[in-house]
Amino acid sequence: MKKKKQHRGRWAPFVLLVTVAVLVIAAIVAVSVLVFGGSKTAPESTTAATTTQTDATQSQTESTQPETTTAPETTTEPETTAATTKPATSANVTGNAAQGDVSVGSLVLVNADHLYSFPDVEKVHMTSDTGYTMAYDTLYMNKECYTAFQSMCADFSAKYPQGDLLVISGFRTYQRQKELFQNSVAKNGSYEAARKWTALPGASDHHTGYAFDFSLDYEGDGIYSWIRENCYRYGFVVRFEASKSAITGISNEPWHFRYVGVPHAYYMMQNNLCLEEYIDLLYDYPEDGQHLTFTYEDGTEYEVYYVKGTDLSDVKKPAGNYTISGNNIDGFIVTIAK
């Protein structure tokens, strides 16, 4: 018994030394993890979680909105760009053209040949009102256009209270148009086929804030023919007619309306002109030459002419009641009411 007791005592110091060494190493490892690993990984994990949640929410929002393969320039998804509120510096200048940009105003021509530069212009939030319902609560429109739109819908409702107008699209961003065009390519089978139905990003009339779409089943017939026949009195035209598709590059869209202002809508309607044809016509009426003149149905006389330039300072301001709009190409359109 005495021998065995001596044997255990001989190994005790060695066991104690090993135990202490293990505890020291474990302590060093724990401190290293706290100092070099803990503070770095926490923020990265939080950021990744936030990004994933945001992307998932956006993806869900986009995916729940139906697209269409037969709706050129049309979408039934909500727009999400907030309105800007930069005011015009002159009451005579439409759509904030006082910024000196030819891409500003109710007569800007936006298509595949003349892309939009997205100047800072005022847009307002569209809400359901007399005569019409908004499909989404995230649509925006140019303020001048929206005022005219509300008046037109209210007058239509007064005449046809049984009417049911549904607005599905207004101002559209470049990114949203890009997504719509990519979807159109996938659905229509080719780039060229998609172009017949959907404008290229940067080339959409919706970028201007002066355009809107009624629902895709809107054909402008029956009681709704009143809108087609009277929209010019509020400054609107049907932007894409079947008979003008070779010029506009977009197939028939009876639901797509574009605001150009009362006198111009009247003249275009009276002379069967699309916006491309009208802007081209105005080159024949330069500032230093003969001006286009006509009389509106209420007796107001209008004088319209083109001024070449890139900035509003290039335009000599006329006397009296006038407006100025860029054409999104190379100059401005001056309109004088007498």
80 residue type, one letter:
T
Token pair 């190379």 in the structure block, residue: 330
CA dihedral 166, 264, 154, 83 (to 10 degrees): 60
Both tokens of 271, joined, read 């002379």
Rg (CA), the chain: 32
| DSSP β-bridge partners for residue 295 | 301
What is the rounded CA–CA span in Å between residue 269 and residue 236? 10
Task: Choose, from 73, 241, 253, 303, the residue flagged as catalytic.
Answer: 253
Q: What is the three-class DSSP state of 220?
A: coil
Q: What is the three-class DSSP state of 125?
A: strand
Nearest to 265 by CA among 277, 273, 256, 253: 273
Tell me, yes or no, if 253 is annotated catalytic.
yes
Alpha-carbon torsion (317, 143, 149, 139), positive or negative = positive
Q: What is the three-class DSSP state of 82?
A: coil
| DSSP β-bridge partners for residue 305 | 334
Both tokens of 86, joined, read 């930069």
What one-character DSSP code corresponds to residue 18?
A: H
Both tokens of 6, joined, read 């001596």
- What does DSSP say about strands 321-326 and 331-337: parallel, antiparallel, or unpaired? antiparallel
Alpha-carbon torsion (77, 78, 82, 86), positive or negative = positive
What one-character DSSP code corresponds to residue 289?
A: S
Q: Residue 211, CB half-sphere, CA atoms under 13 Å: how many? A: 28
**Could you list the active site residues?**
253
